[in-house]
Amino acid sequence: MLVVMQAHATEEQVRDVCQKIEKMGYRAHAMPGAQRTAIGITGNKAEIEPGTLEEMPGVQEVIQVSKPYKLVSRELKEDNTVIRFPGTNATIGGAGLAIIAGPCAIESREQAFAIADRVSRAGAQFFRGGAYKPRTSPYSFQGLGEEGLRIMAEVRQQFGMKIVTEAIDHESLDLVEEWADVIQIGARNMQNFSLLKRAGRARKPILLKRGMSATLEEFLMAAEYILSEGNYNVALCERGVRTFADHTRNTLDLSLVPAVQRLSHLPILVDPSHGTGKRNKVTPLSRASIAVGADGLLVEVHNKPDEALSDGPQSLFPDQFDELMAQVRQIATVVGRTVPAIGARETVVAGK
């Protein structure tokens, strides 16, 4: 069920409708837009009688939502969601492309700072790095844990970049929420519904990666879990799906980008590093991602990829990332998007 408010509806009228919905035993999700505010209703087991809501001041209409995912649907919110970060011009969604770059895993302070210096100079406003690494083998490097989070906090302090890092369970999510700016939920946890609910109660934006074999509807329903708990700052990420192909690590499904944008208001990024698993394919697929309309990129960069403890073969050298950014800038102009200038850095704000 969706309550569409009139364009001139006041904040008090919106609040009154939300309170009415809560008194009926349901949950109200107010989504302000450029032209109107829509209020999604969740928690109902069957159709709700619209009469009592339609008669309330400021209500334009009450309609049924046809999609199983209610809150992520464009039926609820026509305007694209833009995730903003106070004190900075960095966004996920909107005209500016979100460029997220850094190593697969934080290995040391020296390594993280060397990479952050290069990617920030190239124009990346977000630094990615894993403190917790879910690995196929229990004997592989699992990450530095809280020490890695502290190193990334120092990166933010030094370079003014926003920090994106993955939480793999409830315990790590508590720490990631404390230290990071964006909490990543990885492909292996896309349908970890308990973790998704916890992410929905977090105070930080969520970057949700598509599962290795997830359909479009399953992907959007995973995002619905997060929004249903009250966290509306969610971005999606296509990172490739598992197929029979052996010329890439995964098969990057760029058709998902316009498909998501047709059905949902959430921003969607592309990870060409995991999507291909091969360094020589990252830049071409980055170009294609921007051309097809992606809201940004996640790119793995390492100063010594041949010595990397995780995903070295798909990590770009810093010089290669510079070239990628030069090419992305050219394509961004064609599709009406912007990329931060070379050498542009945010003003560093003290503290976390």
pLDDT at 58: 93
Is the CB of residue 235 less than 8 Å from the CB of residue 206? Answer: yes
Distance linking the first and last C-alpha atoms of the chain: 39
State how far the Cα of 21 lies from the Cα of 41, in Å rounded to an integer.
8
Taking Cα atoms as reference points, which of 111, 165, 158, 162 lies closest to residue 134?
A: 165
Domains of the chain: 2-63 (3.30.70.1140), 74-335 (3.20.20.70)
Instruction: Average the pLDDT over 297-305 and give the result.
Output: 97
The pLDDT confidence band at residue 45, using thresholds 50, 70 and 90, is low
pLDDT at 342: 75
CA atoms in the 13 A half-sphere facing the CB of 185: 31
Type of residue found at 78:
E
CA–CA distance from 111 to each of 2, 22, 107, 289, 291 (Å)? 49, 50, 6, 28, 32
CA–CA distance from 20 to each of 48, 60, 224 (Å)? 13, 16, 23
Is the CB of residue 152 less than 8 Å from the CB of residue 180? Answer: yes
pLDDT at 52: 80
Per the prediction, the chain carries an average pLDDT of 92
pLDDT tens readout for residues 185-225:
999 999 999 999 999 999 999 999 999 999 999 999 999 99
Measured in whole angstroms, the distance separating CA 249 from the mean position of its chain's CA atoms is 22
pLDDT tens readout for residues 64-98:
887 888 899 998 898 999 999 988 899 999 999 99
Q: Which two tokens stand for residue 162?
A: 């926003």
Taking Cα atoms as reference points, which of 43, 73, 135, 134 lies closest to residue 261?
A: 73
pLDDT tens readout for residues 222-278:
999 999 999 999 999 999 999 998 899 899 999 999 999 999 999 999 999 999 999
Q: Which two tokens stand for residue 106?
A: 């934080």
Instruction: Average the pLDDT over 284-308 and give the result.
Output: 97
pLDDT at 352: 46
pLDDT at 46: 65
pLDDT at 344: 59
State how far the Cα of 198 lies from the Cα of 52, in Å rounded to an integer.
33
pLDDT at 12: 94
CA–CA distance from 337 to each of 109, 246, 334, 340 (Å)? 33, 34, 8, 10
Number of H helices, E strands in the chain: 11, 14
DSSP 80: P
Higher pLDDT, 143 or 345: 143
Higher pLDDT, 1 or 231: 231
Instruction: Average the pLDDT over 127-131 and give the result.
Output: 96
pLDDT at 348: 47
Is the CB of residue 95 less than 8 Å from the CB of residue 267? Answer: no
State how far the Cα of 33 lies from the Cα of 258, in Å rounded to an integer.
21
State how far the Cα of 352 lies from the Cα of 154, in Å rounded to an integer.
9
Q: Residue 12: helix, strand or coil by DSSP? A: helix
